[in-house]
């Protein structure tokens, strides 16, 4: 059985595109007789007829078509492998994994992704995490970079020397309800005892290894648990429950009256956000993101 080589696949590809052995020879920088000989030798080794030599053009047989179709996939894979090896040699990671906390709207990250994809050859894989899950993704190796990690991160001893973090800023949270919610007509500030008698929308912590954290008031019996801040906003707009929401994510809803912010006896909540990274990830892609996140305008845009 013949062992197909890259040269053989490139030969078939050139003949198919050029339509003749002579033209393929010119493209490959070989003499026509050498291309003709190589094509016949390949047919003999495969024991199939790859080219229909009748007429002016060299046409592929059905067997030749199949070889070309699969062969071009292999050629593309080889080219991709070569590019990846070159990227790694130049200091670019093959892939950068970014965990983004759901308090950060993904639409705010898209402009950064656009700039990065234009500047870098590294593939990016993003995941959406919640509460301690953003830290958890970093610690368990599911992410190289975490964006929007909250201040209630793991103890420094648990974080270890292999991770670093810097502050992004602070997010303000307000207690929000739909206009038709029973609490909408009650005078402010709302008492915690009253809040506990109404269903709360809570977001599930996405941690796999760290102890999951709760969101919302303690002692509430009736809860509806969702997966992201976006889902929590939608549920509260629908009047399914109440809870604290980040102000920057619901400004439009507040302006339109789709949600109402109410004062409570707990006051307004604030949470410091960080971006964190694994110090053993030192490629150019991570460096690009860290440089971007150190820009105050970038951080403001993410939290706007």
Domains parsed from the chain with CATH numbers:
6-89 (1.10.10.10), 95-169+272-302 (3.40.190.10), 171-271 (3.40.190.290)
pLDDT in tens, 69-116: 888 888 888 877 777 676 666 668 889 999 999 999 999 999 999 999
Contact present, 240 and 199 (Cβ < 8 Å): yes
Nearest to residue 162, comparing CAs of 129, 134, 140? 140
C-alpha 282/C-alpha 223 separation (Å) is: 43
pLDDT in tens, 210-234: 777 766 665 677 889 999 999 999 9
Q: What are phi and psi of 53, to 5 degrees?
A: -90, 5
Task: Tally Cβ neighbours within 10 Å of residue 84.
Answer: 16
pLDDT at 150 over 60: yes
Nearest to residue 163, comparing CAs of 283, 273, 281? 281
C-alpha distances out from residue 1 to 6, 44, 45, 54, 184, Å: 16, 10, 7, 27, 79
Pairing of strands 145-150, 95-101: parallel
Q: What is the pTM assigned to this prediction?
A: 0.69
């Amino acid at each position: 059985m013949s062992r197909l080589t890259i040269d053989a696949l490139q030969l078939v590809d050139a003949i198919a595109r050029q339509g003749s052995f002579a033209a393929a020879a010119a493209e490959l920088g070989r003499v026509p007789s050498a291309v003709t000989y190589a094509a016949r030798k390949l047919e003999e080794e495969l024991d199939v007829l790859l080219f229909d030599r009748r007429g002016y053009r060299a046409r592929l047989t059905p067997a030749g078509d199949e070889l070309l179709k699969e062969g071009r996939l292999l050629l593309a894979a080889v080219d991709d492998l070569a590019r990846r090896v070159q990227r790694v040699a130049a200091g670019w990671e093959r892939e950068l994994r970014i965990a983004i906390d759901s308090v950060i709207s993904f639409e705010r990250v898209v402009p950064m992704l656009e700039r990065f994809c234009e500047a870098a050859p590294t593939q990016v894989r993003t995941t959406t995490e919640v509460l301690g899950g953003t830290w958890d993704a970093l610690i368990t190796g599911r992410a190289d970079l975490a964006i929007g990690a909250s201040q209630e991160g793991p103890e420094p001893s648990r974080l270890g020397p292999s991770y670093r973090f810097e502050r992004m800023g602070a997010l303000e949270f307000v207690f929000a309800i739909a206009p038709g919610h029973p609490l909408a007509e009650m005078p402010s500030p709302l008492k915690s005892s009253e809040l506990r008698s109404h269903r709360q929308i809570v977001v599930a912590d996405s941690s796999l290894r760290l102890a999951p954290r709760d969101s919302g008031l303690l002692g509430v019996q009736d809860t509806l648990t969702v997966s992201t801040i976006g889902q929590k906003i939608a549920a509260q707009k629908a009047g399914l429950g109440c809870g604290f929401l980040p102000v920057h994510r619901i400004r439009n809803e507040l302006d339109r009256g789709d949600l109402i912010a109410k004062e409570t006896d707990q006051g307004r909540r604030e949470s410091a956000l960080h971006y964190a990274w694994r110090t053993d990830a030192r490629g150019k892609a991570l460096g690009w993101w860290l440089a971007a996140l150190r820009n105050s305008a970038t951080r403001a845009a993410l939290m706007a």
